Amino acid sequence: MKRITPGSPGSPARQNERRGSRRCKITQLMRLRPSDPEREHFEDLRGTVSVSRSGVYFHTSEPSYEIGMRLFVTMPYAQHLSTMSREYLAEVVRRDELPTGMYGIGFKILMEMGMQHTYSFSGPPLPRK
């Protein structure tokens, strides 16, 4: 019986696979923005292409993403008043230039920042005394 070890001739073509968990191809809207106040601010609303427990890959037309850049990521993102999303601190670990002129961006989640609530400050007026 021949034993195949990863990286040896005859092994499956999964070279340089660094993912620690499986990925799911789901689309979920997210809001991304740089966490560094020294960087030029942008806000990007994008759908995910694939998601794992610790990372996300998506396509964007925003050219400002760089490997090592830290982001605030809100997922799932919606503008409904009752939406409860989570905000994460993430780091860009992959940047691909796609044939379409867009960019493929991969980030790893570093930590959860907490729940994000959408509030409406234009509620009913306060009663007068």
- For 17-74, write each residue's pLDDT tens digit: 555 556 677 778 999 999 999 889 999 999 999 998 889 999 999 999 999 999 999 9
Counted domains in the chain: 1
CB 62 within 8 A of CB 45: no
Q: Is residue 34 in some structural domain?
A: yes
**Cβ burial, residue 10 (10 Å; 0-12/13-18/19+):** exposed
pLDDT for the residue numbered 95: 97
pLDDT for the residue numbered 13: 45
Q: How far is CA 31 from CA 8, 23, 41, 83, in A?
A: 42, 20, 13, 13
Q: Is residue 88 in some structural domain?
A: yes
**pLDDT above 80 for 11:** no
Instruction: Report the DSSP beta bridge partners of residue 57.
Output: 50, 106
Range of the domain at 60: 29-117
CB 44 within 8 A of CB 19: no
Q: How confident is the model over 92-129, as pLDDT tens digits?
A: 999 999 999 999 999 999 999 876 554 444 445 555 65
pTM of the model: 0.69
The neighbour count for residue 57, using CB atoms within 10 Å, is: 18
pLDDT for the residue numbered 54: 85
For the domain that residue 82 is a member of, what is the CATH number? Answer: 2.30.110.10
Q: Is residue 95 in some structural domain?
A: yes
Residue at token pair 């999964």:
14
Q: Is residue 10 in some structural domain?
A: no
Q: Is residue 12 in some structural domain?
A: no
